Amino acid sequence: MPARTIAIGDIHGCSIALAALIDAIDLQPDDTLVTLGDYVDKGLDAKGVIDLLLDLESRCQLISLIGNHDAVMLGAIDYQLSVEQWKAFGGTATLKSYGESESLKDIPVSHSKFLRRCRLWYETPTHFFVHAAYDPERSLEEQEDATLLWQGIRDFVPGPHRSGKIAVVGHTSQKNGEVFDAGHLVCIDTNCWNGGWLTAMDVESRRVWQVDESGRLR
């Protein structure tokens, strides 16, 4: 099997789905797996998701991007935000996954270190990967963090990037559970935590795998 580049959309605490999806794609050591961020919040097992991502770092070429929810969690860990602010943004489920006390102290250093090494973007000769959106006129190095992490594409889809590469994004949940394909941009956040699917896409072949929150393959 030739090495593949496989992107995975927003996981949001759905650890059973992530484990099932890894089985479904038959992950190989030379596969590049690009996870698009938003590992935490909303779903119930953020701790389990990050544990599994740490394990995947030794099983394949894992490229983990940071999402806005992961950035807010780091903000709380670093005391740039209050825990109350994080909880109001969905952090309660994440903190509960670490322990009854809902305390930052329960988050292992290995998990905060993982979040700190997540990247804002990744590119191959044909594709680039960001959590949320991009400015078509700027190089990847010149993008604003706010665009990469927070900008939705529901009301406005960015045009083709000046690199000519195809964008692979998450963040804007597709409520119908279907991959959104605008040709120059593909969104694979298919709303797993809220009744949709967790999606993996082999970006070269366009093969798609989807599992639901309980791990059932579509």
Q: Given the rule CB under 5 A, which residues bind Mn ion?
A: 38, 67-68, 171
Q: Smallest distance, Å, CB 2 to Mn ion? A: 31
Contact call for residues 5 and 200 (beta carbons, < 8 A): no
For residues 67 and 196, which CB has a smaller minimum distance to Mn ion in the complex? 67
CA distance 20 to 174: 21
Q: Smallest distance, Å, CB 58 to Mn ion? A: 26
Q: Smallest distance, Å, CB 89 to Mn ion? A: 11
For residues 175 and 207, which CB has a smaller minimum distance to Mn ion in the complex? 175
Contact call for residues 129 and 168 (beta carbons, < 8 A): yes
For residues 152 and 195, which CB has a smaller minimum distance to Mn ion in the complex? 152
For Mn ion, which residue has the nearest CB?
A: 171
Contact call for residues 53 and 25 (beta carbons, < 8 A): no
In sign, the C-alpha dihedral spanning 82, 65, 117, 17 is positive
Q: Smallest distance, Å, CB 37 to Mn ion? A: 7
For residues 45 and 70, which CB has a smaller minimum distance to Mn ion in the complex? 70
CA distance 27 to 32: 9
